[in-house]
Structure 1
Amino acid sequence: MNDSHIALVTGANQGLGRALVEGLAARMHQNDLVLLTGRSHRRVADAAREVALLPGTRARVEGRVLDVTDTDAIARLAEGIRARHGGVDVVISNAVARLLPAESQAARADEFIDVSNTATHAILRSFGPVLRPGGRLLVVASSLGTLGHLDPRLHHLFDGASLEQVEYAVESWRSAIHHKTAQEAGWPVWLNVPSKVAQVAAVRALAAERRARDLAAGTLIASVCPGMVDTATSRPWFSDYSGAQSPAQAAAAVLDLVFAEHVDPTLYGELVRFGKALPWHDGTPPLEQDRMLTP
């Protein structure tokens, strides 16, 4: 057992990411280290300092500037953590591009895909190999990440796919958006559906390669759905927020997975919401007018 544990959260300046850092810092120990990452040096430094000063904080909290769209930077950070600490114990991939309902989905597609998907692939590739036995590698997705939310014509691109095949499918989707052929191929206008399905498929792909040895070591790789969360990113999409959780409330279920004493094999590689796996093949393609009603 290592004397200290290392945790890292992406997209951690505010909202759910910030709440996850706060929860990790409160539940981990004095010799442990939580790395809060984001793109802005000032925001990262301010957030890390503020979390470090919270009365419930026990672990050390440090900021690291990380633009998740820079896949080389992700690889360098993972290698730096391996070189300095020998590996990492907790990685939570949480970064998301903020998109407003009035904005053109197609016009924002590259940024959205880079932040949500290309970055997810890079984090899985870079941090999977440096995850210590007994560690946790979680990707924050949503309930829209089940395969049934996509047009059946697209299912073969993601069902049982390798990580390379998921990457190819995502780039094919990106290309179809640019060439204005996406809708006729079955891709929805709303970016969030294929993006989340691809995130979950990527996690499933990596998990399929590692399942036996990870379960033997008590290691968990999974995607997580935190449910509806009241954040600046999600608030514009919902007319009724009466059932929304605060970021701290939403973080609690994710942190319970992180700190669970034993790994439930039924959760390994799956999309987990409130401690239960969502069936991969469930769901129906949402109608455009219903898109703002699904957390």
Structure 2
Amino acid sequence: MTSKIALVTGATQGLGLALVEGLAARLSTTDTVYLTSRDAGRVAQAVEAMPAGGAEIRGEVLDVAGPGAAGRLAERLAERHGGVDIVFGNAVMRVGPDDDPREIVDAYAEVNNFGTTRLLRAFAPLLRDGGRFLVVASSFGTLNHLAPALHDRFDGLSSLDEVDKQVAAWRDAVKDGSARAGDWPGFVNIPSKIGQVAAVRALAAQRREDDLARDILLAAVCPGMMNTPTSALWWDVRDAPSPAQAAADLLELVFRPADPAQYGELVRHGAVLPWAPVPPKID
């Protein structure tokens, strides 16, 4: 039996760290989970602190904001293992209530959006039969949270290049201030998450037939509200699940049979969130 290979980005804290621990606990001792992040010191510390038992946990430095970084790591893993079985795209730049969107949007889009499309380009071709590629997004990642006049920016895109082009246009509008005078929401997390889900949908449209035949699931996932320091800057999260509890829900998508209805969609607690507003019924 071929050993399973898993990779988690943004994995030195919070949800990413919990996903690594959960994967290692549920995989076998012959399997490997790659814990990745951009800081070598934090990667080493996180690997060292992992509990013993289960799959081997190996650290790798991966800055998804760096052009070519995801591709180079994908080449190394392909040489070592021949492919990958599980990928969680979890790298994220967080934004606080006091951050000026114009000042942070460059770095924000580079990590959250272009980092996502780089990861998809690099690792989706390496997925083996039965593979899972899950991009961590949020319930903000649907057109329901965007003004109707902007829906066509992200709806029906057929390539990752098209997604990158639309994300770049939004980023530039935030930077030059024109987004504030238009229909774009002020909370940069909303267009960014929509861009992530649009990227999954665009790639899924190209790969659907072959992936479903090979029991591969490509989807965006919403972990729901979590009790983390960053979320606490925006909301009251005292009663929200911990990252470990949220991770357990996402891991179910890895270890249960793939549901074709979830392919290419945004999934929360096992249910598909509609990408576009549902038209009202006319009696």
TM-score scaled by structure 2? 0.95
Aligned to 2:211: 214
Matches within 5 A, 1:1-295: 2-51=1-50, 54-55=51-52, 57-162=53-158, 163-238=160-235, 240-260=236-256, 262-282=257-277
State the Cα deviation string for residues 85-107 of structure 1 (Å, max 9, x = none). 00110000001112221121221
Maintained 8 Å contact 2:8/2:87: yes
Distance in 2 between the 1:37 and 1:100 partners? 24
Maintained 8 Å contact 1:32/1:59: yes
Distance in 2 between the 1:131 and 1:7 partners? 10
Maintained 8 Å contact 2:219/2:265: yes
Maintained 8 Å contact 1:203/1:223: yes
Maintained 8 Å contact 2:15/2:247: yes
Deviation at 1:131, TM superposition (A): 1.0
Maintained 8 Å contact 1:33/1:61: yes
Distance in 2 between the 1:79 and 1:187 partners? 38
Local SS of the residue matching 1:145: coil
Unaligned runs of 5+ in 2: 279-283
Maintained 8 Å contact 1:35/1:61: yes
Maintained 8 Å contact 2:228/2:237: no
Deviation at 1:37, TM superposition (A): 0.5
Q: What's the % identity of the aligned pairs?
A: 53
Maintained 8 Å contact 1:13/1:37: yes
* Cα RMSD for the two superposed structures: 1.2
Deviation at 1:178, TM superposition (A): 2.0
Local SS of the residue matching 1:69: coil
Deviation at 1:184, TM superposition (A): 2.8
TM-score scaled by structure 1? 0.91
Range with greater deviation from structure 2 (11-20 or 240-249): 240-249
1:280 counterpart letter in structure 2: W
Distance in 1 between the 2:125 and 2:232 partners? 36
In the TM superposition, structure 1's runs of 4+ consecutive aligned residues that sit over 2 Å from their partners are none
Distance in 2 between the 1:193 and 1:282 partners? 15
State the Cα deviation string for residues 105-157 of structure 1 (Å, max 9, x = none). 22111111111000001011111111112100000000000111111111111
Distance in 2 between the 1:175 and 1:242 partners? 36
Deviation at 1:282, TM superposition (A): 3.4
Maintained 8 Å contact 2:102/2:176: no
Distance in 1 between the 2:193 and 2:91 partners? 13
Unaligned runs of 5+ in 1: 284-295
Deviation at 1:263, TM superposition (A): 1.0
Local SS of the residue matching 1:106: helix
State the Cα deviation string for residues 202-228 of structure 1 (Å, max 9, x = none). 000101111111111110000000000
Maintained 8 Å contact 1:8/1:35: yes
Distance in 2 between the 1:233 and 1:90 partners? 27
Deviation at 1:186, TM superposition (A): 1.6
2:267 counterpart letter in structure 1: V
Range with greater deviation from structure 2 (162-171 or 118-127): 162-171
